[in-house]
Amino acid sequence: MIVDGFFITGAVITLVSTLVCVVAALIRQPPNDITILSVAAVELFLLVYGVAAVFRQLGGEAIAGETWEFWGYWLTALLVPVAAFWWAILERSRWSNLVLGAAGLTVFVMLYRMEQIWDGALPV
In terms of Cβ atoms closer than 10 Å to its own Cβ (0-12, 13-18, 19+), residue 5 is exposed
d(Cα 25, Cα 23) in Å, to the nearest integer? 5
The backbone torsions φ and ψ at residue 57, rounded to the nearest 5 degrees and listed phi first, read -70, -45
pLDDT at 123: 57
**Contact (Cβ atoms closer than 8 angstroms) between residue 81 and residue 43:** yes
DSSP 91: S
pTM of the model: 0.88
pLDDT at 35: 94
Dihedral sign of CA atoms 6, 114, 56, 62 in order: positive
**Contact (Cβ atoms closer than 8 angstroms) between residue 91 and residue 30:** no
Q: How far apart are the first and last CA of the chain?
A: 13
pLDDT at 24: 93
Please report, in tens digits, the pLDDT of each residue of the chain (124 residues total).
567 888 999 999 999 999 999 999 999 998 999 999 999 999 999 999 999 999 998 998 888 888 899 999 999 999 999 999 999 999 888 889 999 999 999 999 999 999 989 887 655 5
pLDDT at 2: 64
